[in-house]
Structure formats: C-alpha cells, structure tokens
C-alpha cells in the first residue's frame, strides 16, 4: 500500500513500473516481463522483506496491533508514506508534486504490462493525486480506509485513523529512525541488480 515509498525508492522508469506491478502479477508471470520491470518487482519484494524484519518497524507495529493485530504492518506502510510525503529533507513540496506527476506519466508509459484492475486504480490515483496527497490527513485517512475495506477480517469502522492521528509524534520518530536505513538498503539492492546485467 505504500506507493509513494516504492516509487521514491526506484532508480529507473522500469523499476517504478515493476514496483507497482508487483501487487498485481502472479509470480510465474514475472519472468515474461522486460528485465527492468523484473528488477522493480525484485526491489519491491526486497524492500518489503527488509521493512518487515526491521526492529524499528516491529516497535512501530505495536501502535496498531492492539486494534488490528496482524494487519498492523499494512497500516505502518501507509503511515510511512505520510511521513515521507512530508519529509522536506528529501524533497521540497514542489519536488514531491513533480515526483508524483512524473510517476503517473511513467506508469502510463508502461500500461501495456498492467492488468485492467491496475489501470482503473491508476486512473483514480492520478485523478485524486494520491501520491502527493499522502501528505494530508485526508489522504492518509482515505488510504487507511482503503486498507480496512480490503481486509477480510477487520471491521470497516475500526478507528484506525484516530490511532494514527493520536500517535503521530511517536510514529514520526519511528519513521526518522527507519527510513534512512531503508534508503541505504534500496541503494545496495539496486547496485546488486546492476551487477547482474
């Protein structure tokens, strides 16, 4: 669900496409794709594995786990996009806007490889500018509700946004501790992918 982070932690246009495609493709079909898209899928999976095993994320999940148990990781992902979108040490507000518009443009260039359900989502994502609007409370409220709506075993009215809102300060600290490690990991993973050319 953390689309902004996955787009930000990409090093080529094809990797951006692969990072988004990962959630929409069967594993066996990935090998039919161009290498740069495959690299994006590999990078997405590596980022997810690194994130799930990071000790700071284990602590961060405790904010949500009393309410949503095993789904806490999905809500932490959403929170990371909120703090990333507001991270002016990595980009200016204008830079984040530019990044969002560039990402939508790239995804349209690779639409051939995406299934219809992604194309529909991309249309909504671009129309409402999800990537840029993650910086707003309303954008994260929407994303949190989207996770709730898709979760099979959670009540759709759980006050997850309220938990986020009431714990912003500690969640910000977790982001500050975690995200530099993730950036460095993504760079190392990309270097390894380049070595496999």
In this prediction the pTM is 0.94
Q: How far apart are CA 66 and CA 68, in angstroms?
A: 6
pLDDT tens for 128-177 read 999 999 999 999 999 999 999 999 889 999 999 999 999 999 999 999 99
Percent with pLDDT over 70 in the chain: 99
Cβ atoms 41, 116 nearer than 8 A: no
Q: What is the pLDDT of residue 44?
A: 96
Cβ atoms 148, 30 nearer than 8 A: no
pLDDT above 90 for 72: yes
What is the distance between the terminal CA atoms of the chain, rounded to a whole angstrom? 29
Mean pLDDT of 65-74: 95
pLDDT above 80 for 1: no
Q: What is the pLDDT of residue 59?
A: 98
pLDDT above 70 for 197: no
The residue count of the chain comes to 197
């Amino acid at each position: 669900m953390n689309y902004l982070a996955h787009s930000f932690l990409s090093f080529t246009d094809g990797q951006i496409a692969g990072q988004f495609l990962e959630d929409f493709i069967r594993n066996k079909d990935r090998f039919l794709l161009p290498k740069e898209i495959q690299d994006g899928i590999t990078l997405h999976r590596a980022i997810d594995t690194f994130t799930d095993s990071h000790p700071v994320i284990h602590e961060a999940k405790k904010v949500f786990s009393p309410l949503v148990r095993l789904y806490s990781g999905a809500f932490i992902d959403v929170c990371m996009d909120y703090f990333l979108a507001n991270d002016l040490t990595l980009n200016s507000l204008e830079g984040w806007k530019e990044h969002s518009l560039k990402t939508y443009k790239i995804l349209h260039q690779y639409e051939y490889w995406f299934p219809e359900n992604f194309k529909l989502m991309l249309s909504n994502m671009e129309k409402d500018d999800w990537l840029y609007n993650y910086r707003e409370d309303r954008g994260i409220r929407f994303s949190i509700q989207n996770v709730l709506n898709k979760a099979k075993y959670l009540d759709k009215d759980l006050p997850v946004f309220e938990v986020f809102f009431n714990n912003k300060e500690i969640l910000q600290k977790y982001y500050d501790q975690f995200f530099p490690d993730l950036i460095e990991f993504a760079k190392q993973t990309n270097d390894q992918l380049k070595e496999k050319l």
